[in-house]
Amino acid sequence: MDVDERTLRLALLGEAAGGLAHELRNVLQTIAVAAYLAEREGGAPVRVQSMARSARRGLELVEAILAVGRGEQVQPPGVPLRDLFADAREGLPDNVRFVDEPSVATPGPFDPVLFPRLLHVLYENAGHAAAPNPVVVTTRVEEGPGSVAVLVEDDGPGVPAALVDRLFEPFSSQRAGGTGLGLALARRIARAHGGELAHEGGARFRATVPTLPR
């Protein structure tokens, strides 16, 4: 694929994603309002309460991703990485198991809506790459001068050699039914933090974000 074709495809993808995000936001707002009214009327079942929470979280994520698409940078509070794991690990393949090193309790400049999505992409990819075999994913934090790095590594097969050079390009997935958009979005999220997401070989990824004012 030449540069002009890639640029055109990215532009079309951006337009499509923006339109889909707008429509999804409208749907989620309708669900959130309906659930809110059900709660106000009293006696809302647990499923309705769960629906309301999911809709609110979905709205937050859509708004945050739209901001990233506009090129906005996030200004996150300092929160421990482990506080973001509940969202990051929801809906993953059943074969994924985790090892978290003690450093994940260290507060860092992670956006509480967007950074879990970055982690989710890495965790989900690890699960799909190893399936149906189990895979252990290790997460840890390394602090440096003016930055903090989150390392995610698994004991699965790693990134196929044929995919390495275009790993972060949209539509690069080799998985049946995959879109290849996950890692492209994950890198955009890292860059919205003023940082970067890099593949360091095998099944190891490093997301580096600055701790100093940008």
Instruction: Judge whether 84 and 105 are in contact, CB under 8 Å.
Output: no
Q: How far is CA 151 from CA 44, 85, 103, 145, in A?
A: 41, 14, 11, 16
Strand boundaries in 18-163, DSSP class E: 79-80, 96-100, 107-108, 135-144, 147-154
Angle, CA of 25, 175 and 70, to the nearest 5°: 35
More confident residue, 69 or 82: 82
Residue 22 has pLDDT above 90, yes or no: no
143 within 8 A of 178, measured Cβ to Cβ: no
- List the end-to-end C-alpha distance of the chain, in Å, as a whole number: 35
**What six digits make up the tokens of 92?**
């993953």
The predicted structure's pLDDT at residue 160 = 86
pLDDT at 207 over 90: yes
Q: What is the mean pLDDT of residues 130-148?
A: 93
Q: Taking the complete model, does pTM exceed 0.75, yes or no?
A: no
Residue 117 pLDDT: 87
pLDDT at 97: 96
155 DSSP assignment = S
Q: State the pLDDT at residue 144.
A: 87
Cα gap 95→133, rounded to integer Å: 7
Checking if the pLDDT of 1 tops 60, the result is no
| CA distances (Å), origin 188, targets 32, 66, 207 | 27, 11, 11
Percent of the chain with pLDDT over 70: 64
Please write the tens of the pLDDT for every residue from 75-120: 677 789 999 998 899 888 899 999 999 999 988 899 888 899 899 9
**How many angstroms from the chain centroid is the CA of residue 183?**
8
Question: Hey, what's the torsion of the CAs at 98, 101, 106, 110, to 10 degrees?
Answer: -40
pLDDT at 19: 47
Poorest-pLDDT segment among 6-10, 80-84, 101-105, 132-136: 6-10
